[in-house]
Amino acid sequence: MSIRLPSLLVLLALQLSGCAAYRNYDLEMQQTNDQLMRGNYQGALDLLEAHNPWDDKDLLYYFEKGSILSFANALPPSQKAWRSADQMIFQREDAAPSAAMKLLSRFGDEMGTMLVNDKLRRYEGYDYEKVMLTTQMALNQLGANDFDGARADIKKTHEREALIARQRERQYEELETQATSQGIAVQYKDLQGYPVATLDAPAVIELKNGYQSAFSHYLAGFTYEALGERGLAAPGYRHAIELRPDLPFLQQALRDLDKPPAKADESDVLIIVQSGLAPARSSVQVPIPVRLNEHLVIIAPISFPVMVPDTVTPSFDQLIVDGRKRPLTVINSTTDMALRTLRDDMPAIISRAMFRANMAAISQAQENERNPAKASLVVTEHDPFEEADTRTWRTLPDKTLVTRLRLKKGNHLFHAPNAPGTAPVTLRIDRDHQVINLRVLNVIANIVGTARLPDPTPSK
């Protein structure tokens, strides 16, 4: 019995890439996040371990584990997991494989993604995930009042942004050359039935890119200011303003650098509220017309990724401190960053998808010749592997909101809005600069990294 060339190549691609194509990561994380939303952190960890039974854990495992442990206020093990993720990213950034190994690796990845789907690629992490990793690591440090440790992770964030910018520039040049040579003129706006409006939303288009966060740079400014390095704080605030020029909150931080510091009995408190979860990735099939010759066009159903935002966690714009409402400013949206990243990645995704569409159309044309009575202008053979890559860091917080207060040192009462099942929490403010990180999921709120006090009575 003869086997067609595409089938042989698919078989080889699967052998090179293991069983990645069989994994339903979206379903796995739906189950894990369901436990997380209920506040069952151990249950979420147990599911994560059950879904990752192999010894060689991947990048996503460490992403998700660090987040779950951070939700549970287990900061040292959370930081350990994230350090493992950071080390994996660093090794891949720093690696310089031999030409032969690089060719073999690229051959396996590219052949698998072109002929099967993007799920066969080794998960490298999206650019915004890499930057937000070191930002979340810095938050862990600040939650433990370790400003020097946060400074080191913030420095990593800046270095990683610069590296990503250089890599992106090269990738865009290579992709443009490739598209020209292959004659690919399809853009994401041409995909019939694809939710184009999500990629063209004003909040997405207004972002400078998909990986730089105004929150990351504001956090850098605050950290440098707390360490007495105002000369470094100013560039952090300025960069945040460049990324989000529409936010007076950021401009105020830069102006306040010239003001006297807090009094001896006062604290400059940065309150950070991170709500919801990063969007899921799902798969949608789009009909792609493939012109095989002057008279023959065959339609091939090809899968593309779409983003599905978290709609469970309610939105809010204020926090209650000592019974007084304090307005919050949304300074970052992981959903917008993910959509902007997808928007920027679509040309490369389309390039690989067009290759698969052509192979499917050619196979259908051959089948039409063998069986003219059942000839079809639409690909009829169902491909169980034709699905978009749904892997992404799901437990990363979505929206980041901030406010900054001068509070008297002592005990203060904090209450999360839209969290009726959560009692107010009394926290002690005892440093000249202090960070409070509040995580809100569904209607469950948790203070991360700051010691709670048993007395719920606010200071007089």
> Secondary structure of 18-52 in the HEC alphabet?
CCHHHCCHHHHHHHHHHHHHCCCHHHHHHHHHHHC
Percent of the chain with pLDDT over 90: 64
What is the C-alpha to C-alpha distance for residues 437 and 335, in angstroms, rounded to an integer? Answer: 20
Q: List, for residues 197-233, the tens digit of each pLDDT value.
A: 999 999 999 999 999 999 999 999 999 999 999 999 9
Q: Quick one: pLDDT at residue 262? A: 84
**Which pTM was predicted?**
0.88
pLDDT confidence band for 100 (50 / 70 / 90): very low
Q: What is the pLDDT of residue 97?
A: 45
Both structure tokens of 54: 């192999």
Distance from the Cα of residue 380 to its chain's centroid: 36
Instruction: Output b/e per residue, 290-305; b: 16+ Cβ within 10 A.
Output: beeeeeeebbbebbbb
Evaluate if residue 338 carries a pLDDT over 60: yes
**Which three-class secondary structure state does DSSP give residue 61?**
helix
Q: How far apart are CA 47 and CA 222, in angstroms?
A: 37
**What is the side-by-side strand order in the sheet with 318-321?**
324-327, 318-321, 410-415, 425-429, 452-453
Residue-level pLDDT at 368: 94
The per-residue pLDDT for 9 is 43
Q: Are 138 and 223 in contact (CB under 8 A)?
A: yes
Q: Is the dihedral of CA 159, 245, 270, 334 positive or negative?
A: negative
pLDDT tens digit sequence for 21-76: 567 888 999 999 999 988 899 999 999 999 999 999 999 999 999 999 999 999 99
% of the chain exceeding 70 in pLDDT: 82
CA atoms in the 13 A half-sphere facing the CB of 386: 19
Chain centroid offset of residue 416 CA: 25
CATH code of 5-448, in short, is: 1.25.40.10
